A and B are shown apart, each in its own frame.
Chain A
Amino acid sequence: MKIQSQVSMVFHLDKCIGCHTCTVACKNIWTDRKGAEYMYWNNVETKPGTGYPTRWEDQGKYRGGWVLGGKKGRLRLRLQGKWGTLGNIFYNPYLPTLDDYFEPWTYDYQNLFDAPEGDDQPTARAISMVTGRYMDTIEAGPNWDDDLGGSQVYANNDPNLDHATEEERRLMEEIGRVVFFYLPRICNHCLNPGCVAACPAGAIYKRGEDGIVLVSQERCRAWRMCISGCPYKKTYFNWSTGKAEKCILCYPRLESGQPPACFHSCVGRIRYVGLVLYDADRIEAAASAPQAELVQAQRDAILDPFDPKVIAAAQAAGIPDAKIDAAQKSPVYKFVKRWHLALPLHPEFRTLPMLFYVPPMGPVLAKMDNGKYDTMDAKAEGLAPMLSALEKSRVPLRYMASLFSAGNEEIIRKVYRKLVAVRVYMRAQRVKDIPEAEVQKALAEGGTDAREVEAIFRLTSLPTFEERFVVPAMERETAVEALFPPLDPIARNYPTHKGEVGIGFHHDPQRGM
């Protein structure tokens, strides 16, 4: 057992209102720079939709993540092996084009002031921020299909619908049943990152003490294999500095005890951050599990921070007590491991993403029956008066399974039954219009009990700031000293000491070596 700690995340999709405040917070702090205009380290996608960049989930095109089937059936990158890397090193064929992101633009506002007097109102034409030329038509943007805009094209081409039946597709397009939800995405800071494995320069690394995946701006050589290797397309290429960049989980904020900016600014309070302890020896086995068992294998790699054996092993591995304490208070541990409510996004990419999602309840499906509003098939399952049967959900379970459980619908069904149990129980408590027998039935089907349901309710609806964001002292100085002892005469050359490191670069990143 090799215990390590990881800053891990949960997004509760039922609470996301799609306001993009997280995106704006991130953009203003990190990517409001030349060359980074098109980067969205955090973005919010509408599902069903093609996402950003277009159809990023389609690994037939982009070749991200891992597949089983190397020598002896072991994991190998879907992108290419060592020889493929060498052959394609100057010409990576599996990249999104600028059009698959969008061409960033600004407006010629000065024209509003400088335009000569004339018959027409002066306009501020769009100017490309890449070429500096006027753009007559803007064909794409970072959120082009927001709220199902252009859904005939974009929603229909959602890769998660590739396996949907004609009937399911027809129902999802039916005007009275149209449904969508939001999927906020940041870097997953995976346990088995494809970007790290794909980098020929060894410039990407996963920080040992907190699992944050970072790109060294000094070692990056612009091969752009990470962009293909990451199945979530969360590394981006800065065309100005010629270096790859990605979400850094606001580590300067974490190191000073604050949650990342997108977490802090979240209006719907959907985001949770906390430490989990995991067994690094189990990563390979978890990533090579059969597809249907991937979610459970990943849960198994996460360890119980209350287990005395785990605590002893963690202490032996040099994990500070403050971190073990934080792991015990972690909301992520509760959602992922204790309650089995939060699921990784696209576990079939086999990168073991450490950002988990509580899937959203689809809106209820109802009809007017004798002048009464009746949720469909609710009575049959004892879910009246506010929930329709799962199988009648507007978002097919198969779609959710394609997103969050590598196609295993049973896992999704269990999550929903528990979420339903929470709603039924709490309604019985507050509104008191559900008979006790039905409450008990819902609890039994959800595989839960009153105490757990109340804990879930509390952390979902009424969590305090400190409950949502459990950021321990990161003790960066300890981690640095492990590599560069402060009294080591050689290490004195490294600017890695307390008081010497800060936010930003010792010198700006620039093209070339």
Chain B
Amino acid sequence: MTNGGVWRLLRIAALATIACAWVASPATAKAAGADAEAGKQIFQEKCTACHTIGKGNLVGPDLKGVTALRPREWLQQWIAAPDRMLAAKDPVGIALLHEFHDVPMPNLGLSAAEANALIDYLATAVPGAAVPPAEAVSAPAPATSAPAASGDPEVGKELFTGAARFRNGGPPCMACHSVGGIGALGGGQLGPDLTTVVTRFGGAAATAAFVGGSPTPTMNAVWQRTPLTADERANVVAFLAQAAISERPTQAIWRLLGLAILGLAILLVAAGWIWRRRQPDGVRLPMLARQRNTARGQPATAPRRT
């Protein structure tokens, strides 16, 4: 190994040691302490996209009385890393997953201290208190107030495809998501296809809450600084809720395939013409073939090598 490699390893080891020391330090744990106020803050920021307390199910279950329903250890593990518990085939987690439209709860990156604070809050929360005051968060109000039915699907489609801009400057949904009803070429492939998202999430209200809260890390990173307004959200969800887009026209696939084959054919013909002088057989083989044919008294044309 070279000198550079050794140094790099040493540097990584040093960084890792410092990081561990910081994470394990009691000061950090104490600062995040078991405080229901902090839990409330976290709930409003990270949970309201999918959950209410006493206001009914959205994408995820209503959390009223959840602390009585589940042991504290299970809640701690689940809130901290639901993806890991699902991967470990936790029976309660799997049952919840199936009950709630197979939409898994994302890992929100909460520390153990934050999870504890959240559980403390859930244990003391008054039903309905989860609804944040309008000025509390920059993200719009949660699903209960989302006027899904009032949105205009036409405007929503324009917003989705980027034909109209979001007011706060966010990227069009199509940049990352595909959906039926926006043409044969579809949209981006980074996020999941949204064709049946409203059905999967159990209704327009849940979908609107999800969009507003942006709970997944990727969505959060994109939308935190440029949130949707309530109207925009309603319009986009109305578009997604249209029955028409839940079916994709099958002939579009064939049209796409036809276009691809035509394009390929044009490229091949162009390449064949531009590089027509290239000799796949080289010089020697045609020379031999010519000589052979001349010897037999045949026209001097070179057969191609098979």
Output the nearest chain B residue to A99 by Cβ-Cβ distance.
Answer: B282
> With the chains together, A55 CA to B290 CA distance in Å?
14
B287 touches A93 (CB 8 A): no
- Please indicate the chain B residues that have their CB under 8 angstroms from the CB of A54 in the complex: 282-284, 287
- Please indicate the chain B residues that have their CB under 8 angstroms from the CB of A409 in the complex: none
B285 interface hit (Cβ, 8 Å): yes
Which residues from 254 to 296 on chain B have a C-beta closer than 8 Å to any C-beta of chain A? 271, 274-275, 277-285, 287-288, 291
A88-B275, A91-B275 given; A97·B282 CB < 8 A: yes
Of A151-159, A240-248, A464-472, A477-485, the one touching chain B: A151-159
* Shortest CB distance A58–B (Å): 7
A87 touches B283 (CB 8 A): no
> With the chains together, A98 CA to B279 CA distance in Å?
12
A94 touches B284 (CB 8 A): no
Which residues from 111 to 140 on chain A have a C-beta closer than 8 Å to any C-beta of chain B? 140
A152 touches B278 (CB 8 A): no
A50 interface hit (Cβ, 8 Å): yes
A100 interface hit (Cβ, 8 Å): yes
Which residues from 140 to 162 on chain A have a C-beta closer than 8 Å to any C-beta of chain B? 140, 152-153, 156-157
A219 interface hit (Cβ, 8 Å): no
B291 touches A153 (CB 8 A): yes
> With the chains together, A393 CA to B290 CA distance in Å?
30
> With the chains together, A156 CA to B287 CA distance in Å?
10
B279 touches A61 (CB 8 A): yes
- Please indicate the chain B residues that have their CB under 8 angstroms from the CB of A50 in the complex: 284, 287
Output the nearest chain B residue to A152 by Cβ-Cβ distance.
Answer: B291
Output the nearest chain A residue to B292 by Cβ-Cβ distance.
Answer: A153
A93 touches B277 (CB 8 A): yes
Output the nearest chain B residue to A58 by Cβ-Cβ distance.
Answer: B283
> With the chains together, A156 CA to B288 CA distance in Å?
11
A53 interface hit (Cβ, 8 Å): yes
A100 touches B282 (CB 8 A): yes
A152-B291, A153-B291 given; A93·B278 CB < 8 A: yes
The contact size tier of chain B is 10 to 19
Pick the contact of B274: A87, A96, A152 (CB < 8 A).
A87
B288 touches A153 (CB 8 A): yes
- Please indicate the chain A residues that have their CB under 8 angstroms from the CB of B280 in the complex: 97
> With the chains together, A93 CA to B287 CA distance in Å?
18
> With the chains together, A152 CA to B291 CA distance in Å?
8
- Please indicate the chain A residues that have their CB under 8 angstroms from the CB of B282 in the complex: 54, 96-100
> With the chains together, A196 CA to B212 CA distance in Å?
62
> With the chains together, A54 CA to B290 CA distance in Å?
14
- Please indicate the chain A residues that have their CB under 8 angstroms from the CB of B277 in the complex: 93-94
B285 touches A55 (CB 8 A): no
Output the nearest chain A residue to B305 by Cβ-Cβ distance.
Answer: A99
A55 touches B287 (CB 8 A): yes
A140 touches B291 (CB 8 A): no
- Please indicate the chain B residues that have their CB under 8 angstroms from the CB of A97 in the complex: 279-283
> With the chains together, A381 CA to B274 CA distance in Å?
57
- Please indicate the chain A residues that have their CB under 8 angstroms from the CB of B275 in the complex: 88, 91, 93
> With the chains together, A96 CA to B284 CA distance in Å?
9
Q: Which residue, of A88, A97, A157, has the highest number of chain B Cβ atoms within 10 A?
A: A97
B291 touches A61 (CB 8 A): no
B283 touches A61 (CB 8 A): yes
A55 touches B283 (CB 8 A): yes
- Please indicate the chain A residues that have their CB under 8 angstroms from the CB of B274 in the complex: 87
A100 touches B291 (CB 8 A): no
* Shortest CB distance A151–B (Å): 11
B284 touches A99 (CB 8 A): yes
> With the chains together, A98 CA to B274 CA distance in Å?
23
Interface residues of B (CB under 8 A from A): 271, 274-275, 277-285, 287-288, 291
Starting from the known contacts A91-B275, A97-B281, 12 additional A-B residue pairs (CB-CB under 8 Å) come to A53-B283, A54-B283, A54-B287, A61-B283, A91-B271, A97-B279, A97-B282, A99-B285, A140-B284, A152-B291, A153-B291, A156-B291
List 14 contacting pairs A-B, 8 Å CB cutoff, sorted by A.
Answer: A54-B287, A55-B284, A58-B283, A91-B275, A93-B277, A94-B277, A97-B279, A97-B280, A97-B281, A97-B282, A97-B283, A98-B282, A153-B291, A156-B291
